[in-house]
Amino acid sequence: MTITINKTVPTFYPSLRYRDAPNAIAWLVKAFDFKEHLVVPGPDGTVAHAELSFGNGVFMLGSAPAGPGPADATEPAMDREGIYAYVEDVDGHHARALAAGAEVSRALEDTEYGARMYTVRDIEGNPWTFGNYSVAL
């Protein structure tokens, strides 16, 4: 089998949210040999956005919202995980998703790290975030 490694900018970025994102970053670097590419601090020791590289892949993460939520056994994990996909025309893509009946879970917004993005749930409740932020390693 031949595997071709694409050295262009990825289109899909797996992502998770952690209750203790700084600790998670340190552990992922130590345990899996991920490399810190970018860490954007948030308020009160949180992480607004982070990117860890592994080969030519990118894993994104950030701090989970404070309070009860996804880490509790009674709450679904879907608010801590998801897929991020790069799109050039975020507003047009957003309009298309809404027209198809997508449930918005994070409104269209401009982030503190320069991206324009939004999150919707698919027909089975899985979160998908689309934005114009891409990572070049």
Q: Where are the extended beta strands (E) located within 19-132?
A: 35-41, 47-54, 57-63, 81-86, 103-110, 116-121, 127-131
What is the arithmetic mean of pLDDT over 27-42?
90
User: Is residue 34 within 8 Å of 45, Cβ to Cβ?
Assistant: no
Q: What is the pLDDT of residues 80-124, one digit of tens each?
A: 677 888 888 999 999 999 988 888 999 999 998 889 999 988 776
- Range 12-131: architecture per CATH: Roll (3.10)
pTM (predicted TM-score): 0.65
CA 131 from centroid of its chain's CA atoms: 10
